[in-house]
Amino acid sequence: MSLTPDQILSAHKANVETLFGLTTKAFEGVEKLVELNVTASRAALNEAAQHTQAVLSVKDAQELLALQASLFQPLAEKTASYSRHLYDIASTTTTEFGKAFETQVTEARKNFNALLESTAKNAPAGSESAVAIMKNAVSAANSAFESVQKAVKQASDLAETNFNTVTNTATEAVKTTGNAKR
């Protein structure tokens, strides 16, 4: 079985569409990241101005210490929130790339299996054992690939769970420490 010019053109067209789709997703991720950073920077600037005004109005050292202590809990919560947003952006973008990759792999597998079947039908007499070996090798490779995909998915899920646990624990620790100081 040989590829016709229409099949080659169709494959190239699909690859270009995939490339542009992934580029669009990458730019969407960058846009979200820029928006997050601009929002965080604007909030930090406003808070710095408010904090400066508050420091300038302090009358004694005790009031200054209380003011400084009151900043740590909101700062930790905002840092955790920023980290969550950042992780969500990265995770969403990675998921989109993963879906596109899986689609491409599925299509390539389908095409390769069709080519293998066509070759098997047109193989000369006596080559059945070679064709069977080839089919078994392809089947084993597909199984291995699926196992790797499952392992990567499990590792990603575990990493996300651990990230959320650590973030929540850190936020709670800061809240507890802030409440204990009061």
pLDDT digits (tens, 9 = 90+) for 99-118: 888 888 888 888 787 877 87
Which tokens hold the place of 21? Answer: 């789709």
- Per-residue pLDDT, averaged over 26-47, amounts to 93
- Per-residue pLDDT, averaged over 34-52, amounts to 92
Chain-centroid distance of CA 78 in Å reads 21
Which region, left, alpha or beta, applies to residue 116 given φ > 0 means left and ψ of -120 to 50 means alpha? alpha
Q: Using CB atoms within 10 A of its CB, is residue 19 exposed (0-12), middle (13-18) or buried (19+)?
A: exposed
Among the listed residues 175, 169, 162, 171, the one whose alpha carbon sits nearest the alpha carbon of residue 81: 171
Helix axes 5-56, 61-121, angle to 10 degrees: 170
pLDDT of residue 149: 76
Compute the residue count for the chain: 182
106-158 pLDDT per residue, tens: 888 887 878 778 777 877 878 878 878 878 888 888 788 788 878 877 887 78
Domains of the chain: which residue ranges?
5-181
Has residue 40 got a pLDDT over 90?
A: yes
Amino acid at 107: E
Count CB neighbours of 93 within 10 A.
Answer: 19
pLDDT of residue 2: 59
